[in-house]
């Protein structure tokens, strides 16, 4: 096997997405042939070089099975491997999955809904990297009923904590007395983004659920349940991501 960039090798091994792999490299947590590597762009030969992460030798890519799991994350569950406060994590709900699995993005502690887990770092990178802008669909129960001006403000994007959020799609789907349900589509995965958006607009979120990520739908999967995604689903997902890539390339030309 020829040389590959170190971040790509780590992604292929299911250690992390390429972006997170770059952070691991920059932090000095990666050793190649016994030497700390902290420079981005380094290449390795998976058949010859010894790569360690946190002192653990990482195996060769050949023959590694790629696994894709869809979980209906319950609320009040952490999206981490371990929690120092002893709270339940998504990995506690999935004891049978391979140890090198990781989550594709995050959902905050109070949010439920669709969460993807995989050991395919390349696919995870395409799904999460801001440049691809893969849409995420949420249902949000908020206090009050946003008027047209507020919906426009939410949709156009806003500055929160000095950071500009991308435009999103926001629609009122149901009105329940003094509350309402919104359908919100965003194309970036900033921490607590929807909660911050709605609170800033004067309509704080009381319930939040992710129902779709790209063309993957949560459907009727029960809360706390999970399933392995079929090969055909992943093939369709890759086709969908290629279409997004073509659209992005056409906008840049």
Do 53 and 172 lie in one domain? The reply is: no
The answer on 140 and 94 residing in a single domain is no
Same domain membership, residue 111 and residue 223: yes
Among residues 22, 49, 83, 108, the one annotated as catalytic is 108
Residue whose token pair is 């949420």: 138
Q: What is the rounded distance in angstroms from the CA atom of residue 155 to the CA atom of residue 158?
A: 8
Together in a domain, 82 and 190: no
Query: pTM for the full model?
Result: 0.76
Strand pairing class (51-53; 169-176): unpaired
In a domain? residue 140? yes
Please count the structural domains in the chain. Answer: 3
Domain containing 73 equals 68-130+219-241
83 has catalytic annotation:
no
Are 97 and 51 members of one domain? Answer: no
Please answer whether residues 179 and 141 qualify as being in contact, where contact means their C-beta atoms are separated by less than 8 angstroms.
yes
Residue 149 lies in a domain: yes
| HSE-CB for 169 with a 13 A CA cutoff | 9
pLDDT per residue, tens digit, the chain (253 aa), is 578 899 888 887 778 888 888 999 999 889 888 889 988 889 988 777 878 888 777 765 444 578 899 999 999 999 999 999 999 999 999 988 888 899 999 999 999 999 999 999 999 999 998 888 999 999 999 999 999 999 999 999 888 888 889 999 999 999 998 999 999 999 998 889 999 999 999 999 999 999 999 999 999 999 999 999 987 899 999 999 999 988 877 777 6
């Amino acid at each position: 096997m020829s040389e590959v960039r170190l971040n790509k090798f780590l992604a292929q091994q299911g250690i992390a997405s390429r972006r997170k792999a770059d952070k691991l490299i920059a932090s000095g947590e990666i050793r190649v042939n016994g030497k700390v590597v902290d420079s981005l762009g380094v290449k390795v030969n998976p058949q010859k070089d010894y790569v360690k992460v946190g002192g653990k030798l990482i195996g060769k890519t050949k023959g590694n099975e790629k696994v894709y799991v869809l979980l209906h994350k319950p609320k009040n569950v952490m999206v981490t491997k371990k929690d120092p406060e002893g709270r339940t994590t998504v990995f506690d709900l999935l004891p049978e999955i391979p140890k090198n699995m990781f989550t594709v993005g995050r959902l905050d502690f109070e949010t439920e809904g669709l969460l993807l887990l995989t050991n395919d770092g390349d696919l995870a990178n395409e799904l999460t990297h801001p440049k691809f802008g893969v849409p995420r669909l949420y249902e949000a129960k908020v206090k009050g009923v946003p008027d047209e001006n507020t919906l426009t403000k939410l949709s156009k994007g806003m500055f929160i904590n000095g950071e500009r959020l991308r435009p999103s799609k926001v629609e009122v789907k149901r009105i329940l007395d003094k509350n309402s349900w919104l359908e919100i589509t965003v194309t970036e995965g900033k921490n607590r983004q929807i909660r911050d958006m709605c609170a800033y607009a004067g309509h704080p979120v009381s319930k939040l659920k992710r129902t779709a990520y790209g063309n993957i739908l949560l459907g009727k999967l029960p809360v706390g349940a999970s399933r392995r995604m079929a090969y055909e689903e992943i093939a369709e997902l890759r086709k969908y991501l290629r279409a997004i890539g073509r659209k992005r390339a056409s906008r840049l030309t």
